[in-house]
């Protein structure tokens, strides 16, 4: 599903070539030319009319499309939620001009495309939330906090936010001492200004309009420390935003062995069903 117009995509076609490969049995993409949404629909009998835009991670260098995208979307659809996997531009490895706003610009474009065209596409939804993994959690929390909306290509959009956010071992901040350095360098460059660093640190954008959040993170994550989630959770709490923060003692980054997929994904469904009802 494409969410830019034909002219926009035509300009991109001559600017590079997307790369797809397999890592540990899962599809990975880099050099994104055509940002898209891949739709996973639930059965008509099971449909809850709630949508989830999924932002895979990959340190702003690649996208883990299967592990943190398609697998999640299929499970959500099996539980009655309409899921969309967002394939977004990566400034450091794509054909763009390298703007750090490219990924979130794609996310805003996709979100507003679904809000404006859902009924026409036959997928009208009562609510649309966002879910992000690792660097994809930075993209997702950017939408949730409104970060980057003032730089969005379409100046006529409204300021509507997603209805909820689910963040799994997310990158949140690029501040010294906490930043995931590869994600920071890939997105902002090798020597970003203090102003740019602070602007792209999403704990600084939490306000009263930020939607409810579920955050999952392991205490032994050495790639993206749990301090990212703690910082964001603290910012949400200060603004009175309903937030559930699940901390796992063991899990590392990406939850490769523990907690089991069925365990942490069940927490996501319990949380969604609590806020939006089981039917």
Task: Give residue-wise pLDDT tens across range 157-191.
Answer: 556 899 999 999 999 999 999 999 999 999 999 89
Return the pLDDT at 93.
Answer: 43
Q: pLDDT of 86-119, one tens digit each?
A: 999 988 544 445 689 989 999 999 999 999 888 8
Q: Tokens 């063991």 — which residue?
A: 250
209, part of any domain: yes
Within 10 Å of residue 159's Cβ, how many Cβ atoms?
A: 9
Does 31 score more than 90 pLDDT?
A: no
Print the domain residue range for 163: 6-276
> What total of structural domains would you count in the chain?
1
pLDDT band at 156 (very low <50, low <70, confident <90, very high): very low
68 burial (CB, 10 Å; 0-12 / 13-18 / 19+) is: buried
Does 236 score more than 80 pLDDT?
A: yes
Return the pLDDT at 154.
Answer: 54
Within 10 Å of residue 250's Cβ, how many Cβ atoms?
A: 12
Does 14 score more than 70 pLDDT?
A: no
**Of residues 51 and 148, which shows the higher confidence score?**
51
Return the pLDDT at 94.
Answer: 43
**Which is nearest to 103 in space by CA: 59, 162, 39, 159?**
59
The C-alpha R_g of the chain, in whole angstroms, comes to 17
1, part of any domain: no
Return the pLDDT at 9.
Answer: 84
Query: The domain spanning residue 193 has which CATH number?
Result: 3.40.50.1820
Does 130 score more than 90 pLDDT?
A: yes
30, part of any domain: yes
Section 146-154 average pLDDT: 72
Return the pLDDT at 91.
Answer: 81
75, part of any domain: yes
Return the pLDDT at 153.
Answer: 54
Q: pLDDT of 40-75, one tens digit each?
A: 999 999 999 999 999 999 999 999 999 999 999 999
SS3 53: strand
pLDDT band at 33 (very low <50, low <70, confident <90, very high): confident
Does 278 score more than 90 pLDDT?
A: no
Return the pLDDT at 152.
Answer: 61
Model-level pTM?
0.94
Does 15 score more than 80 pLDDT?
A: no
Q: Which residues contact 116 (CB under 8 A, 6 or more apart)?
A: none
Does 279 score more than 90 pLDDT?
A: no
Tokens coding 46: 């099971």
């Amino acid at each position: 599903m494409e969410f830019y117009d034909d002219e926009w995509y035509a300009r991109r076609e001559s600017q590079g070539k997307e790369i797809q490969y397999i890592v540990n049995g899962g599809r990975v993409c880099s050099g994104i030319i055509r940002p898209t949404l891949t739709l996973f629909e639930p059965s008509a009998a099971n449909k809850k009319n709630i949508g989830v835009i999924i932002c895979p991670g990959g340190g702003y260098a690649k996208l883990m499309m299967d592990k943190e995208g398609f697998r999640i979307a299929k499970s959500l659809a099996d539980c009655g939620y309409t899921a969309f996997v967002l394939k977004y531009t990566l400034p450091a490895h794509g054909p763009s001009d390298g703007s750090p706003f490219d990924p979130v610009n794609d996310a805003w474009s996709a979100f507003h495309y679904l809000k404006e065209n859902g009924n026409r596409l036959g997928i009208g939804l009562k609510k649309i939330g966002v879910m992000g993994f690792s660097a994809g959690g930075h993209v997702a929390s950017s939408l949730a906090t409104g970060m980057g909306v003032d730089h969005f290509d379409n100046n006529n959009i409204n300021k509507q936010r997603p209805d909820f956010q689910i963040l799994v071992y997310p990158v949140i901040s690029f501040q010294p001492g906490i930043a995931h350095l590869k994600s920071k360098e890939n997105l902002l460059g090798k020597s970003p200004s203090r102003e740019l660093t602070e602007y792209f640190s999403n704990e600084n954008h939490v306000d009263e309009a930020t939607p409810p959040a579920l955050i999952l993170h392991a205490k032994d994550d050495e790639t993206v420390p749990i301090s990212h989630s703690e910082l964001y959770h603290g910012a949400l709490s200060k603004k009175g935003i309903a937030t559930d923060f699940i901390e796992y003692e063991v899990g590392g980054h990406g939850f490769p062995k523990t907690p089991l997929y069925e365990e942490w994904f069940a927490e996501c469904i319990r949380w969604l069903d609590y806020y939006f009802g089981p039917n």
